[in-house]
């Protein structure tokens, strides 16, 4: 990456930080300058002043007054610095990190579901999310040091120039030697981080499995933990190998930069030069000698940082910020149209729709059907035939590979995406219960209408559950953050997912396996409730349990990605086809279970 691009990336991030919390950034720079100057003022400027004034016999009162002024400056600086670092900076840093991370989260939400099919996307997302706080710390670090070291360099160089200009030349030569190694060092560190990011993600995944409640039961009742431990240990060894290989180069560059160039020049060349000036030339008096002796390391520290560590930080940050900017610049392939939906939901038509994931074998092939307002349809079939994929196409989580989906006769890709999706209330098969209040889980919103939540809760059979909870709708779900949190059964959780779909009061209700976790009695009760709830709505059912689809106006049977049968329950039974076979098989299982 070119230096110009690296600088541009860092300036971009600094501008982002200023936009979020300008006062904190200005405070960091101010504190950096006033605190970094303390050792220069005390050990170089003040000490030189005191010794030289004592040698020429100046008044002690004047020396004492100058010393008092410096002491007051130091005291005020330390008080202000401490208050800023302990009371202001931590909160500001937290706000900045959260704001930057929220941009990543918002971008992740805006991107297509198809991105999650790509491991490289996962690596980039996880790397951005996990590295943000660390990299923001790096930027904070150089913002808190760079201005101070610049002031340090200017003041110390001014003193050195007054004493002997050749000293500055020697120091600059030392720094030049150090500077040569900065770019290869930054590249080596970045390449190391890039090499281990996918390994770290795998390690973090395994660690999270052992911490999550969802996995706790299976881990205890199976030997899957041994598989995970084997993968974890294998991953750890791979990480160690990469660290060993990559750190070797980093160590060599560090050694050449710090030990050979820095310590050799400071402890040998500059010391000899100073000795020559004092003993042979007698050009340096006692005050100047002490000022140079104290100041040379101060100046070198400033220059090592400015042209050493600072440059490395700038380069490493530049690489990270480039990845951050690249992630934020990813454009979703699911583009929003501009048309508005003026007449609500009237018809939804699949017209020769085909679909494949990543240009592989087609999951759906030439699907054709129409749903009219108020109709209840069901989509059934064996596992893996494309039922859930069809629903994802309706929701525009994916776009069709061929054909069209028409809402009210217009291609759904032409409609405003947000408005289009608001037409739908969806209960997903793989729904989630969040570590948040029950009311938030049902409404899917920060601000919700309690009366509305209670109404849909009653409709879904959740009313008694809510009444049992001490805090009602404010009861925390899961024990992730609250020891008093409630863990619901699978059936109760499924009712929450259904209530979430109903809360939006959408015109089109999509139910993906709405009764999968319910017992037969609860399922029958739910089916009756759904019939009443969805009386005026258009409903699409996806279900393995055909008992849930008996009352559908039309049932579409999918096999090998195609609609092979359609009709109502009784017509399909009369056809003696796949639906009849599936129905009889499920009925036989119920009879068999009753016999047992």
Q: Above pLDDT 90, what percent of the chain?
A: 20
Please tell me which residue, 132 or 214, carries the higher pLDDT value.
132
How confident is residue 30, by pLDDT bands cut at 50, 70 and 90?
A: very high
Q: Above pLDDT 70, what percent of the chain?
A: 86
Checking if the pLDDT of 260 tops 70, the result is no
Task: Give the whole-angstrom CA distance, residue 504 versus residue 424.
Answer: 8
Token pair for residue 502?
A: 């109903």
CA 288 to chain CA centroid, Å, is: 54
Task: Give the whole-angstrom CA distance, residue 332 versus residue 329.
Answer: 9
**For residues 30-55, average pLDDT:** 86
The contacts found for 262-268 with CB under 8 angstroms, 24 or more apart, are 262/174, 262/178, 262/300, 262/304, 265/170, 265/173, 265/174, 265/177, 266/174, 266/296, 266/297, 266/300
Per-residue pLDDT at 470: 81
- Give the angle subtended at the CA of 544 by the CAs of 543 and 546, to the nearest 5°: 85
Checking if the pLDDT of 413 tops 50, the result is yes
With a CB cutoff of 8 Å and minimum separation 6, the contacts of 117 are 357, 358
Note whether 122 and 116 are within 8 A (CB): yes
347-356 and 362-372 beta bridge pairing: antiparallel
Checking if the pLDDT of 595 tops 50, the result is no
**For residues 66-83, average pLDDT:** 92
Per residue in 433-448, pLDDT (tens digit) is 888 888 888 888 888 8
Per-residue pLDDT at 136: 85
Per-residue pLDDT at 369: 93
Per-residue pLDDT at 593: 47
Note whether 541 and 376 are within 8 A (CB): yes
**For residues 244-271, average pLDDT:** 68
Torsion of CA 492, 495, 497, 503, to 10 degrees: -140
What residues form DSSP beta bridges with 415? Answer: 339
How confident is residue 128, by pLDDT bands cut at 50, 70 and 90?
A: low
Per residue in 299-316, pLDDT (tens digit) is 777 877 887 778 888 888
Checking if the pLDDT of 416 tops 90, the result is yes
Task: Give the whole-angstrom CA distance, residue 584 versus residue 586.
Answer: 5
Per residue in 387-407, pLDDT (tens digit) is 888 999 999 988 999 999 999
Q: Which of 25-39, 201-215, 233-247, 513-527 bottoms out in mean pLDDT, i.e. has the lowest?
A: 513-527
pTM over cut 0.75: no
3-class DSSP state for residue 410? strand
Structural domains present in the chain? 3-328 (1.20.1560.10), 347-430+507-568 (3.40.50.300), 434-487 (no CATH)
Per-residue pLDDT at 166: 77
Please tell me which residue, 6 or 55, carries the higher pLDDT value.
6
Checking if the pLDDT of 247 tops 90, the result is no
Mean pLDDT: which of 424-428, 430-434, 553-557 is highest?
553-557
Per-residue pLDDT at 268: 67
- Give the angle subtended at the CA of 327 by the CAs of 324 and 330, to the nearest 5°: 150
Please tell me which residue, 433 or 224, carries the higher pLDDT value.
433
Per-residue pLDDT at 108: 79
Q: Which of 430-434, 516-520, 573-577, 581-585 bottoms out in mean pLDDT, i.e. has the lowest?
A: 516-520
Task: Give the whole-angstrom CA distance, residue 188 versus residue 451.
Answer: 59
Note whether 579 and 554 are within 8 A (CB): no
Mean pLDDT: which of 98-107, 413-422, 430-439 is highest?
413-422
Task: Give the whole-angstrom CA distance, residue 491 versus residue 526.
Answer: 11
């Amino acid at each position: 990456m070119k230096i110009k691009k690296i600088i541009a990336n860092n300036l971009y991030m600094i501008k982002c930080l200023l936009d979020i919390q300008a006062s904190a950034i200005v405070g960091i720079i101010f504190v950096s300058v006033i605190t970094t100057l303390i050792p220069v003022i005390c050990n170089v400027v003040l000490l030189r002043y005191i010794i030289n004034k004592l040698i020429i016999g100046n008044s002690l009162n004047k020396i004492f007054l100058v010393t008092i002024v410096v002491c007051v400056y130091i005291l005020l600086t330390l008080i202000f610095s401490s208050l800023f670092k302990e009371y202001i900076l931590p909160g500001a840093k937290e706000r900045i990190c959260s704001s930057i991370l929220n941009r990543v989260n918002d971008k992740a939400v805006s991107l297509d579901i198809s991105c999650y099919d790509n491991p490289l996307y996962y690596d980039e997302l996880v790397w951005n999310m996990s590295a943000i706080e660390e990299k923001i710390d790096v930027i904070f670090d150089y913002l808190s040091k760079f201005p101070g070291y610049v002031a340090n360099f200017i003041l110390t160089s001014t003193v050195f120039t007054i004493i002997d200009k050749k000293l500055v030349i020697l120091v600059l030569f030392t720094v030049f030697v150090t500077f040569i190694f900065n770019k290869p060092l930054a590249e080596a560190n970045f390449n190391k981080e890039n090499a281990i990011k996918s390994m770290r993600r795998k390690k973090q995944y395994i660690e999270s499995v052992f911490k999550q409640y969802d996995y706790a039961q299976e881990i205890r009742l199976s030997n899957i933990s041994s598989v995970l431990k084997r993968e974890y240990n294998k991953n750890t060894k791979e990480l160690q190998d990469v660290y060993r290989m990559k750190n070797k180069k980093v160590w060599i560059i560090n050694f050449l930069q710090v030990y050979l160039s820095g310590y050799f020049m400071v402890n040998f060349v500059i010391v000899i030069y100073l000795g020559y000036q004092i003993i042979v030339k007698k050009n340096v008096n006692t005050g100047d000698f002490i000022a140079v002796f104290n100041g040379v390391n101060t100046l070198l520290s400033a220059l090592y940082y400015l042209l050493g560590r600072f440059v490395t930080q700038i380069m490493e940050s530049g690489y990270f910020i480039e990845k951050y900017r690249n992630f934020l610049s990813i454009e979703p392939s699911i583009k929003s149209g501009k048309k508005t939906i003026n007449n609500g939901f009237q018809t939804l038509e699949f017209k020769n729709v085909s679909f494949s994931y990543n240009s592989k074998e087609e999951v759906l092939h030439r699907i054709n059907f129409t749903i009219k307002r108020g109709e209840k349809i069901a989509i059934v079939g064996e596992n893996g035939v494309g039922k859930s994929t069809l629903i994802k196409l309706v929701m525009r989580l994916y776009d069709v590979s061929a054909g069209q989906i028409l809402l009210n006769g217009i291609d759904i890709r032409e409609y405003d995406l947000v408005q289009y999706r608001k037409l739908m209330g969806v209960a997903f098969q793989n729904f989630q219960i969040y570590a948040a209040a029950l009311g938030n889980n049902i409404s899917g919103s920060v601000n919700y209408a309690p009366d509305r939540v209670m109404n849909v809760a009653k409709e879904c059979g959740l009313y008694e559950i809510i009444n049992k909870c001490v805090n009602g709708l404010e009861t925390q779900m899961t024990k992730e953050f609250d020891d008093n949190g409630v863990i619901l059964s699978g059936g109760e959780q499924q009712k929450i997912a259904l209530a979430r779909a109903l809360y939006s009061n959408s015109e089109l209700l999509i139910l993906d396996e709405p009764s999968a976790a319910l017992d037969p009695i609860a399922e029958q009760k739910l089916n009756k409730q759904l019939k009443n709830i969805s009386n005026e709505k258009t409903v699409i059912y996806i279900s393995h349990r055909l008992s849930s689809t008996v009352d559908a106006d039309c049932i579409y049977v999918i096999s090998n990605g195609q609609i092979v049968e359609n009709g109502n329950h009784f017509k399909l039974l009369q056809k003696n086809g796949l639906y009849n076979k599936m129905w009889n098989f499920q009925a036989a299982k119920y009879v068999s279970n009753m016999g047992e």
